[in-house]
Each structure stands twice: as structure tokens, then as C-alpha cells.
Amino acid sequence: MLERYAVYRQAVDEVLTNLSLLQSGSGELVTCASGTTPLEGEVPEPLKSAMVYSLLLPGKRIRPVLLLASYALLREDWQEALPFAAAVEMIHTYSLIHDDLPAMDDDDYRRGKPANHRVFGENIAILAGDGLLNMAYETMLSAPVCVKKPVQALAAIKVIAEKAGVRGMIAGQTLDVKLEGSMPQGELVAYIHRHKTADLITAPVLAGLLLADARDQQLRCGQRYGESLGLAFQMVDDLLDLTGDAQAMGKHTGMDAVRGKMTWPAVVGIEQTRRDAELAVRDAVEALECFGSSGEFLQVLAQETLVRVK
Amino acid sequence: MLERYAVYRQAVDEVLTNLSLLQSGSGELVTCASGTTPLEGEVPEPLKSAMVYSLLLPGKRIRPVLLLASYALLREDWQEALPFAAAVEMIHTYSLIHDDLPAMDDDDYRRGKPANHRVFGENIAILAGDGLLNMAYETMLSAPVCVKKPVQALAAIKVIAEKAGVRGMIAGQTLDVKLEGSMPQGELVAYIHRHKTADLITAPVLAGLLLADARDQQLRCGQRYGESLGLAFQMVDDLLDLTGDAQAMGKHTGMDAVRGKMTWPAVVGIEQTRRDAELAVRDAVEALECFGSSGEFLQVLAQETLVRVK
């Protein structure tokens, strides 16, 4: 189990480290501080460094792993899906950079390191976020699978665009920032969790399945798995913010309460949140039964979510 | 000539006004201030209003018109290309919202109205920009042409992603903000113009041609047309900032000099900029000769660019 996660994760990290867009052709850092004109066809500094900085911060790579593992439910050649896996990580990373900005959550730390804008300035952090979102699409559109299977590729890109978009992740972010300090309400917290977090868990599952030519019924199973896992994920995150250790988390803890964020523990309490997360994981595991024994890896992966709060 | 521009422009405005994503299903404004949970499948407030606000500010719609007219060089059914035309306007609009942010150009006015963040706050302006960029892809990926001609659609989306991306428009924006206050240099100004402005003029031309199944040689003509028109466009913009009337421009003028922006007049002077803009327009007109008499509309359109600074 852990071995397979490590294999996927290493493959993702290799792709992210070697992205041709973020390589300097000459190996030299082209800085514009010196007044040198950037080379055509390369990403200019300091934009490139800012994008690389956040993209390569140590992370679990859970979203890209989900995409590869979902593809692997139906097909062996999961390497075909790697550009899409990398793209989902880019979208996740852009959302974190923009979330951390002073006008948003105003976070100074992320994954144990200074937030992007603390290193590169707010203007470059805004552009680096924009750049990563756009590069996610560039990366998917340049994938070999777009030539081999254009219809499946279009379907996968579309589901990612929908889940990352203004009825998906960005809808959740909107409520998250607008409702700071409001009285926590179950329905609103559920809405925020469903979109801010679960949509970007469901997206890679569905994209992996679509690339692998899944049938409608399989897509429905994947949808249910992603939604439930996503909810569990956010509940665990909320619990860790309340009870976790700042060092282990790589960011300040207790910030949700300070900011008056809508969280699940704020509505139903810590114990009930733990129970609800367990229920959500159970539902995710059940959803995958339609894939038989090949679903086992993703089932174990869902169960692992709870380990950090047990 | 003007009639045809008006036809394209009206079609674009209709699409932008009636975007299903930005319609409220119930006709009611779902506000989250009241604590009401937004309806699933709709864009929540105030995100929706912020996106609509900037997207529907009065504008020339030059980029979408270029896309439709380029498609029409080769095919009659230019309405097929409308979702792509709308998408290019969304990308343009998102870039303006983010450019106006306090951490970027810190502009209070845009097209004669308060900038997005002045109305909706910085956090929503950031998310509205992100949302419009992502919605551009959602819109293209939902276009009927993706089903009818997936290969052409993929090629068109890809060229837009490349030109809007970190080696395209965002590369230009990066140099534009980083080089504020530096000594103006011809090469750097050319780099900024080529990417910040010309890439998003070339993108719709190439996308229109790709959707219409253009041959390689036709794409080369389109590329040259777009690049030259884009340069002329930015030179005229720089001139208007120096010599134009704030009321007519809908924003403060003279701001480039105040900010120490890299502009063409700052490098070669006003008279030479005017001559260079004329040369660029002449090159754009020449580039379209390969389309024979059907290129006339786009040739006249290029010449019109100069009218404002004559």
C-alpha cells in the first residue's frame, strides 16, 4: 500500500521537478533585476522561481496520487495520466498562494516555509498564482493523451475546470472569506467544505476515470468517493487546526478560531466532527466497492486520512 | 466595415450578457450576507456580481472580434466560434482586474468606473479574476465545437493557453511590474509589449484560424498580423496615456510616467512612436495579403487603430 503511494508520489514529484516550462534552457538564471531581457520561450524571473518555490514545497501530493490511482482502477498505463496529475497539483498550489495573500487569509507560513508573497512580494505572488492556474491547462493540453484520445482528454480537462471553477473550488473560497466572523451554521460549513476542499478531491478522481474510459456507473462511484473523502479531509484539517501541533503542521494552528472561520468543529464540536469524519471515510470506502478488489488501494488511502486525528 | 464590427460586437455582448454560468436560475440574487446557503450549481454572490461587473464594463471587444473575424476568413459559420471569443474577453478582463489591484498597478478606475477591488474588496477581486480565467476554459470546453471538432478545439484552446500563460501575457505582466522605475530600454519595452499586449491579440487570431482548419501558411500570416497589430496597439495606448484625455480614456492619464513604466515613448519619443505604430500597422495589413480580398475587414480594423492618435 505505502509502496504504491510512494511510487505514484515519486513519479509526480519527478514530473513537477522537470516541467519543461519551468526549466531554464541555458541552465542560467535569467534575472530581470540586471536589466537583461528574458529569453523568448522561457518563463521570466522572478515569476519562474516564485512558481517553482510553491510547487516544490514538500507536500503529500494527495490530489495527483488520487488521479493516478483512479486511472489505475481501469488501466495499467497510469503514466499516461501524469500531466493531468501534475496539473491538479498546480491548481491546488495556485489556490494556496492566493489564499495566503494579505487580502485573503493573510498567512505568513505554508508547509513550514514563508508564504509565497513573503518571499517574492504580493505582486509576483498574484502573478505566480495566475501562472500556475494557466499552466495547469497548458500542461494538460500538451499531454500526449490529447493526441491519442482527444475526446477523453477534453472530458477530463472539462471536469477539472468545472470543479476548480466558480461553481466549485472558487465558490467555496468565496464563502470562506466572506463568512469570516459570521455565526457558524451547518449548511454553510458543509457548502464550504464541499467546494473549497471536496471539489478538488473529486476532480482528480473523475479526471483519472474519464481518461481511462470509465462507464457512467463507475463515474458515479468515483464522484461519491471523492465527495466523501473530501469532506473527511476537511474535517480532519479543521480538527488538526484546533488540536494539532504547529511544528508538525508547518503553519500556525488555532488560526481558524482567531479568524472566526466556519469550521465543522465550531458547529458540532470536536467529538462529533471526529465521528462524522469516520462516517464520511466509511462512505468513501463503500463507494469503491463497485471496483471490486482493484479499489483496495484507494480504500486504504481513505482510511489513512483518519490516522492523524486518532 | 463598421457594420460588420458592430455585428460581431453585438454577438459577443449577447453571449457575455447571457452566460449561463452567470445567470441566477431563480432570477433571485442569492446573497451570502443574509446567511442563506447559495444554490448548488450556481455561482455564489458576491463572486458572480464581481465577475459580471468587470466583464460587462463598456469595451471595444477587440479581442473577441478578432477571433470571429479570423475564423470568418475561412468559414461562414462564425457563430460556432463565439464561446471562444467570449473566453478571450474573460481572460482579458481577469488580467485587468488583477493588474488594477493595490499590490499591482493600484488603479482606482477602469473604463470610467471604479476598479473591481474598489467595489467588491481586494479578496473578491482576486477571486473574481481567478474565476474569470478559469471560466474562460470552462466556456471553451463546453462549446459545441468541442464535440464536433475535438482536434481543432484542442488546438485552439492550447494556443490561447500558451499566449495567456507564463511565457506569454503573464511574462509581460511580470516584467511590467518588476521594471517600474528602471531606466527604459528598447529591448525590454519590446518584450513587455510583445507579451503583455500582443500575445493576447495574436491568440484570438490564431485560435479563430485553428478552429476554421487553417493551413500552416495561413497560421503564419495570422501570427504576423497579430504580433504587428499588438505592437501598434500598445504604442497607441502609450501615446494616449501621454497625450490623451482622462475623460475619453475612462481612467487617469499620465500614470505611466508617474509610475516610471517602461513605455515606447519613454525610449524613442512621441514622434518616433507614432511612426513606429504606423509601420507596425502597415506590416499587419501586408501580412493579411495571403487571404486576398477576404482579409479586407481585418486590414481596415488594423488601420483604425491609428485613428485615435492622428
Provide the angle, in degrees to the nearest 10, between the axes of the packed helices B122-141 and A150-164. Answer: 160
B178 and chain A: CB distance < 8 Å anywhere?
A: yes
What pLDDT, in 10s, does the model give residues B146-169? 999 999 999 999 999 999 999 999
CB B219 within 8 A of CB B155: no
Number of A/B CB contacts below 8 angstroms equals 176
**In this complex, is the C-beta atom of A135 within 8 Å of any C-beta atom belonging to chain B?**
yes
How many domains is chain B partitioned into structurally? 1
Contact B114, B173 (CB under 8 A): no
* Measured CA distances, A234 to A175, B35, B230, B261, B273 (Å): 15, 21, 46, 44, 55
Q: Is residue A287 a part of any domain in this protein?
A: yes
Over chain A, what is the mean pLDDT?
92
CA-to-CA distance for A101 and B125, rounded, in angstroms?
Answer: 12
Instruction: Answer yes or no: is A265 within a domain.
Output: yes
A44-84 pLDDT per residue, tens: 999 999 999 999 999 899 999 999 999 999 999 999 999 99
Q: What is the pLDDT of residue B107?
A: 92
Q: Which of A103, A164, A185 sits opposite B122 (nearest CB)?
A: A103
- Give which of A138, A188, A223 to mutate to test B binding, by max B Cβ within 10 Å: A138
**How far is the C-alpha of A126 from the C-alpha of A118, rounded, in Å?**
12
Q: Is residue B20 part of a domain?
A: no
pLDDT given for residue B246 in this prediction: 64
Could you report the per-residue pLDDT of B218-266, keeping only the tens digit for each?
A: 999 999 999 999 999 999 999 998 887 666 666 677 778 777 888 899 9
Given a cut of 80, whether residue B307 has pLDDT beyond it is yes
Q: What is the pTM of this model?
A: 0.95
* Contact call for residues B186 and B176 (beta carbons, < 8 A): no
Which chain B residues are within 8 Å of A173, Cβ to Cβ? Answer: 127
For residues A238-252, average pLDDT: 76
CA pair distance A207, B148, nearest whole angstrom: 21
Q: Nearest CB to A42: which of B104, B124, B167? A: B167
Confidence of residue A256 (pLDDT cuts 50, 70, 90): confident
Per-residue pLDDT band for A184 (boundaries 50, 70, 90) equals: confident
Residue B165 within any structural domain of the chain: yes
Q: How high is the mean pLDDT of chain B? A: 92
Three-state SS sequence of chain B? CHHHHHHHHHHHHHHHHCCHHHCCCCCCCCCCCCCCCCCCCCCCCCHHHHHHHHHCCCCCCHHHHHHHHHHHCCCCCHHHHHHHHHHHHHHHHHHHHHHHCCCCCCCCEECCEECHHHHHCHHHHHHHHHHHHHHHHHHHHCCHHHHHCHHHHHHHHHHHHHHHCCCCHHHHHHHHHHCCCCCCCHHHHHHHHHHHHHHHHHHHHHHHHHHCCCCHHHHHHHHHHHHHHHHHHHHHHHHHHHHCCHHHHCCCCCHHHHHCCCCHHHHHCHHHHHHHHHHHHHHHHHHHHHHHHHHHHHHHHHHHHHHHHC
User: Is A171 in Cβ contact with B35 (below 8 Å)?
Assistant: no
Q: Is residue A28 part of a domain?
A: no
Whether B285 is covered by a domain: the verdict is yes
Phi, psi of B170 (to 5 degrees): -70, -30
On whether any CB of chain A is under 8 Å from the CB of B30, the answer is: no
For chain B, give the number of residues.
Answer: 310
Asked if A142 and A197 touch (Cβ cutoff 8 Å), the reply is: no
B167 contacts A137 by C-beta, under 8 angstroms: no
Tell me what pLDDT residue B30 has.
45
- Touching check for A275 and chain B: CB below 8 Å? no
Contact B233, B194 (CB under 8 A): no
- Bridge-based pairing of strands B109-110 and B113-114 is antiparallel
Q: What is the CATH number of the domain that holds A248?
A: 1.10.600.10
In a domain, A109, yes or no: yes
**ipTM beyond 0.90?**
yes
Give residue B253's pLDDT.
73
CB contact under 8 A, A167 and B123: no
H or E element at residue A113: strand A113-114
Q: Are B69 and B301 in contact (CB under 8 A)?
A: yes
Instruction: Give the mean model confidence (pLDDT) for residues B264-281.
Output: 94
Residue with the larger pLDDT of the pair A185 and A308: A185
Residue A225: inside a domain: yes
- Cβ proximity of B246 and B252 under 8 Å: yes
Contact A126 B134 (CB under 8 A): no
Residue of chain B minimizing CA distance to A100: B123
Indicate the pLDDT class of residue B29, thresholds 50, 70 and 90: very low
**Which residues 50-79 of chain A have a CB within 8 Å of chain B?**
51
Q: Chain B residues with CB inside 8 Å of A130's CB?
A: 94, 98, 129-130, 133, 170
pLDDT above 70 coverage of chain B, percent: 93
List the domain range (segments joined by +) for residue A83.
2-7+41-309
Q: How far apart are CA A208 and CA A214, in angstroms?
A: 9
Interatomic CA distance for residues B125 and B21, integer angstroms: 18
**Strand, helix or coil for residue A110:** strand
